[in-house]
Structure 1
Amino acid sequence: MAVAAHQRQDQEERGSGLDQLKDELASYLSAQAQEWMGKAGDKVADLTDQLSDTVEGGGLSRILAGESPVKALVSAKAKSVKDKVIGKVKEAFTGGGGGGGNTKVTNIVETLDVGLPVRTVYDHWTQIKDFSGFTKGVRSVSQSDETASDWKVKVGPSARSWHATVQEQVPDDRIVWTSNGSKGSTRGAVSFHELAPNLTRIVLVVEYYPSGFFEKTGNLWRAQGRRLRLDLKHFGRHVTLSADEEIEGWRGEIHDGEVVRSHEEGLEDDETENEEDEDEDEDRGDEDDGEEDEYDEYEDEYEDAAR
């Protein structure tokens, strides 16, 4: 009996000690996890936000259906870009002078993804004089200055002329314009968005205010909407086929219809920004080299102690 009682006491002591060890281990792991999360929090914050946007944008259903998380993330980002741009453009145009309150407005919204960097796509878009060479709707384009241009286009069986004025232009971001012709006026915006380093989404929004009985009652602008969609695809093919060609786009900036930064100033700013990026890369490289040197010193000390 005494032996059995003694064994039970030993088991209880071992159990108590094991429980205590488990508690201490759990506390230690919890503290380590909190410390690790604190260090990693800044790094994962952006990814968490992106994943949250993906879920909100319907990306979760695509992931659960077997789609790549990266592809789902890009798709959700692209949809968000389109919705935000359309909202901003409509907000910017609300109350503007395009037509009276009873004027019928036709809205055209088109998007196109191009497998090239934003700057490459934007620079090609600024070469509007080349549009007649690869589109079927544009007959000719002539520029009188940085903000004004005259367009001759084909709308169905008819020809139309437009005088366009750039109201806002920011390199690698957006171009907003208005145009007037004998058969109506338009207000439009094209924006460029980086979905990935070599993937750019173009969002094109155009509002058309027809003038004249035929323009208001006919479906001529529907034909132009189809033409615009096809010409946007032609632009994507043109940029892709011309990707290896060096091209200098217009790098100036326009606000309220006035040039606030010239092309030359824009090039200088781009060069300065590139130099700053290179300096940052060099600084990061020096930091990495310093960490490697410090590691080598610890490794040498360890080897000496081992001997």
Structure 2
Amino acid sequence: MSTTVTAGTEVDVPVRTAYDQWTQFESFPHFMGGVESVRQLDDTTTHWIVSIAGVKREFDADISDQVPDDHVAWRSTTAEVSHRGRVNFRQVSPDRTRIDLTIEWEPEGFVEKAGAALQLDDAQVKRDLHRFKEYIEKRQTESGAWRGEVHGGQETSAGAGGPTAGTAGYGYGGTVAPGSTNPPTSDGIVGSDPDLRA
């Protein structure tokens, strides 16, 4: 049975700054608990190593849909890890941004299923969003940017910052979780793409 976690926060930076920083997937270990490393393989593919409650997972994730300053959707491509998610960005004011995150995964094994049952994954996602808020508000500027668009898993426009962006998806509940530069698709959860609807 799949588990879905949603969380949201507001950050005191412009929407472009928040979005651009989120697309720097390799910076995720700075604010995402359990994420050991994220390596950007190309504009739409990332490789994750996560460790949650002593369970280590390694997987690839693809950005399925992405629109600058609006959303990033992703999904895992590794058979052993079933995970997908979407992060949406909305300007509240010129210097404040609303971030809403939805993650869905399939817990495996006793430790992951127990964590999901106890809602430990919900707490982890909320902590990670809070850490992202602290991280970007302290910096007040993004560490890089990727302004390309992705639809149906295919890049449709070049990013102004080059291939330094990423996608979202990291390990929650021993699986994958959120956070990066490329967008998700829609399949009923969040957004306008076939993997996630917002």
TM-score (norm 2): 0.73
| 1:156-305 → structure 2 map (5 Å cutoff) | 156-181=53-78, 183-211=80-108, 213-214=109-110, 218-221=113-116, 222-243=119-140, 245=141, 247-264=143-160
More helix per residue: 1
Q: May I ask how many residue pairs the two structures share in their alignment?
A: 160
Gaps of 5+ in 1: 1-103, 267-307
**Partner deviation per Cα, 1:262-300 (whole Å, 9 max, x = no partner):** 11499xxxxxxxxxxxxxxxxxxxxxxxxxxxxxxxxxx
Distance in 1, Cα, partners of 2:27 & 2:96 = 23
> Which residue of structure 2 lines up, in the alignment, with residue 133 of structure 1?
30
> Which residue of structure 2 lines up, in the alignment, with residue 110 of structure 1?
7
C-alpha contact (below 8 Å) 1:155/1:223 kept by paired residues: no
Gaps of 5+ in 2: 163-198
Partner amino acid for 2:115? Answer: L
Distance in 2, Cα, partners of 1:113 & 1:183 = 34
Partner amino acid for 1:130? Answer: S
Distance in 1, Cα, partners of 2:53 & 2:161 = 41
Distance in 2, Cα, partners of 1:118 & 1:127 = 15
Partner amino acid for 1:257? Answer: G
More strand per residue: 2
Distance in 1, Cα, partners of 2:43 & 2:94 = 29
Please give the secondary structure, in 2, of the residue aligned with 1:135.
coil
Partner amino acid for 1:157? Answer: G
| 1:92-107 → structure 2 map (5 Å cutoff) | 104-107=1-4
Distance in 1, Cα, partners of 2:132 & 2:161 = 28
C-alpha displacement of 1:203: 0.3
Distance in 2, Cα, partners of 1:203 & 1:115 = 15
C-alpha contact (below 8 Å) 1:124/1:239 kept by paired residues: yes
Distance in 1, Cα, partners of 2:126 & 2:23 = 18
TM-score (norm 1): 0.48
Give % identity.
34
Query: What value does the CA root-mean-square deviation take over the aligned residues?
Result: 2.1
**Partner deviation per Cα, 1:109-166 (whole Å, 9 max, x = no partner):** 0001101110010011011101112333211000110111011112122222221100
Please give the secondary structure, in 2, of the residue aligned with 1:263.
coil
